[in-house]
Structure 1
Amino acid sequence: MQKQDIIFAWLGSILCILFFLVVNYLTNPDYLWFIYPTFFILLWPISMYSIKHKNLKLHSLFTSVILILFFITINYVHSPFHPWFLYASYPILWWPILMFMEKGRKTVSLAIIGSLMTIVYYSFLNATISPQYPWAIYPCFVVLWWPLALFYAKKKEYYKFSIAASLLIILFFIAVNTVSSPNTIWAVYPIFIILWWPLSMYYFQYRRN
């Protein structure tokens, strides 16, 4: 890939963005729809530059910045009363962080730190921006799988992983049942199914050996 290809990509992107901007202004100035194709168009020269220099770390950084700016713009234009871009921007930031931390991203310590940071971050947003419902339990449940799976995968203790993972899922369903519909005890149904995971691991692996 030559330098002229990247220059062409940048010039072509600028011309396309200007074209969409003019069409948007002439046809429907009340609705800024040109920002949607602009986001995807900008990925063209950035991707070509990263491929030319064989730098995926730089690509993750630039793409993350553009994606976050895109969310901020959409948020400000369409719903400035609620900063929802804060929910989506945080996981995007972890893409370049993990790309730059080549050795650390495979460690359990980073997984624990990242999980704790995520839990604190979304719990803070839940308490300050939208305290009506404790929705933070959902991203907290998801992110806890990161250190849990990594820890037991390194030790190759799959039976213990099934026990720990089952406990995590059971606690999650109990929490959701409690905060969502405390008058109806429905969590027992998925919990019954989940218990078959460690039981099957025990009887078909350990008992057979």
Structure 2
Amino acid sequence: MKRYGVGFAIAGSFMAIAFLIIVNLLTASEHIWFIYPSIGLLLWPVGIYCMKNKYYKLFAVLCSLLVIIFLTLENYLNTPGYPWALYAVFPILCWPILMLLGKRAGNIIVSLVGSAIIIIYYLMLNIFLEPGYPWAIFPAFAVLWWPLTIYHLARKSYFQYSIHASLFISGFFILVNAVSSPNTIWAIYPIFAVLWWPLSMYYFVYKGRMER
């Protein structure tokens, strides 16, 4: 069974997809629904082949391509006037890219370049697709944790990390407050909670080590 596992999965998935296409065309040809289960069926032989041969990077690449193709078709068939699939394409591509980079993903230069590319990508989407609100600050905030964390982990500067991270989070909330609701100052509440992180690190970890 193991010997013919991949061939069986390929034959089984394509037979199932052909069956679903026939059922779709006979019962509800005005609505193309067979593509939804087809994605899962295609992942079956791909997963078996890659896991059996330990092609983990190839698995990441093929799965990402399948998901991107699926989202692009879904976008084109249902809402062709708005390319919403672009929002998901880059995060999906990050999976095979990080797999291909391997240990190099933990390099500070790679993290800075990768973060800059992601921020520019979403900034362009923000400008050309949704210029009404600067929502690109949210993915930028998320992705900048990558180089910040790598920098401090490499130096094992955990207390300094808590300080810089707290300042980063505080700056983010201040910016969101100023952009979203400038007439209501609410950013002080999450900032107050975040400040307990470096304070607790100082009194319970850093200061204790200095006293020893």
Query: How far is 1:79 from its partner?
Result: 1.0
Displacement of 1:111 after TM fit?
0.8
Does residue 20 (structure 1) correspond to residue 20 (structure 2)? The answer is: yes
> Which position in structure 2 is the counterpart of 1:143?
143
2:184 alignment partner, SS class: coil
1:46 is aligned to: 46
Which consecutive residues of structure 1, in runs of 5 or more, have no partner in the other structure? none
- 1:159-187 C-alpha deviation (Å, 9 max, x unpaired): 00001101110111011111111111110
1:179 equivalent in structure 2: 179
Query: Aligned runs of 1:52-201 on 2, under 5 Å?
Result: 52-201=52-201
User: In the TM superposition, what whole-angstrom CA distance separates every residue of 1:105-159 from its partner, at most 9, and x where no partner exists?
Assistant: 1211111111111111100110011111111111000000111111111111110
Q: Identify the residue that residue 202 of structure 1 maps to in structure 2.
A: 202
Q: Distance in 2 between matches of 1:76 and 1:172?
A: 35
Q: In 2, distance between residues paired with 1:162 and 1:81? A: 45
State the alpha-carbon separation in 2 of the partners of residues 148 and 138 from structure 1. 16
Q: How many angstroms apart in 1 are the aligned matches of 2:134 and 2:155?
A: 34
Q: How far is the alpha carbon of 1:43 from its aligned partner?
A: 0.2
How far residue 64 of structure 1 moved from its aligned partner, in angstroms, is 0.7
Structure 2 partner of 1:33: 33
Q: Which runs of 4+ in 1 moved over 4 A?
A: none
Mean Cα deviation higher: 138-147 or 27-36:
27-36
Deviations 1:65-89 (A, max 9, x none): 1010011011111111111111101
Residue identity in the other structure for 1:172: F
Supply the distance in 2 between the matched residues of 1:56 and 1:131 (Cα, whole angstroms): 39
1:41-81 Cα deviation digits (max 9, x unpaired): 10001011112221101111111110100110111111111
> Kindly, what percent of the aligned residue pairs are identical?
49
How far apart, CA to CA, are the structure 1 residues paired with 2:143 and 2:46?
Answer: 30
Amino acid at match of 1:160: Q
TM-score under structure 2 normalisation?
0.95
- SS in structure 2 at match of 1:208: helix
Letter paired with 1:48: I
- Deviation for aligned residue 1:21: 1.1
Deviations 1:24-56 (A, max 9, x none): 111111211111101111000101111222110
TM-score (ref. length: structure 1): 0.96
Q: Which amino acid aligns with 2:97?
A: I
Per-residue deviation, residues 85-104 of structure 1 (Å, max 9, x unmatched): 11101011111111111231
Q: CA deviation at 1:19?
A: 1.0
